[in-house]
Amino acid sequence: MKEEILKGLQKSLRDYDSEGCIAWAKKANQEGVDPLHAIDALTEIIQEVGDGFSRGELFLPDLIAAGATMAGAMAELTAALKQKGLERKSLGKVVIGTVFGDIHSIGKDMVSTLMTASGFTVHDLGIDVKAEKFIEAVKEDRPDVLAMSALLTTTAKEQKVVIEALKKEGLRNQVKVIVGGGAIDQPFASGIGADGYASTAPEAVTLVKSLIG
């Protein structure tokens, strides 16, 4: 039964079947499958999708669909983890958000989903996040990494505002900062003093692992 459930979870994720994936997650909980094993099974597939995207075999809609499918199942499995008093071993803590003035969330959501799937604890601040909110989260959460997204050239400068605010608060040396989004490239990231830049969600996961590994 356990193997059937795990395979069902994986197949539904491969098929981008959100309802099916949630149903298998609920069945896993009902049948007493270890939520950690179920999460590991999903993680294996989401990483396959990320790798396929990196190789150019899959495309952005695939990445978005897989992320959305996994998110629903993860909500069920994470709730079961909490009920059982279990905790997934974390590779590190990441605070993520789209900067002030920017309401685009697809790229950020994909990074958040892949980070979570890869074993990081993620605090997603959402979109249109002011510098003060990023600073507050860094103070409270003490993350290993702060990740900021900006899709627009008009909002890209907000990433620098946050980095300067970190310096002013004496926090810059306590957290690695990575940036990404349609308006960002490596020269820009280097120019504002970020620790790294990623152009895709899978790249962001690899980058974070290299920064805190």
pLDDT confidence of residue 193: 98
Stretch (H or E) spanning 180:
strand 176-180
Torsion, Cα of 59, 91, 87, 201 (10° steps): -20
Give the C-alpha separation, 1 to 84, whole Å: 20
pLDDT confidence of residue 85: 82
Stretch (H or E) spanning 94:
strand 93-98
Closest among 164, 182, 162 to 95, alpha carbons compared: 162
Give the C-alpha separation, 60 to 78, whole Å: 26
pLDDT confidence of residue 86: 78
Low-confidence stretches of the chain (pLDDT beneath 50):
none
pLDDT confidence of residue 89: 86
| DSSP one-letter code for 190 | H
The model carries a pTM of: 0.84
Q: How many helices (H) and strands (E) does the chain have?
A: 9, 5
For the chain, domains (ranges, CATH) are 2-84 (1.10.1240.10), 93-212 (3.40.50.280)
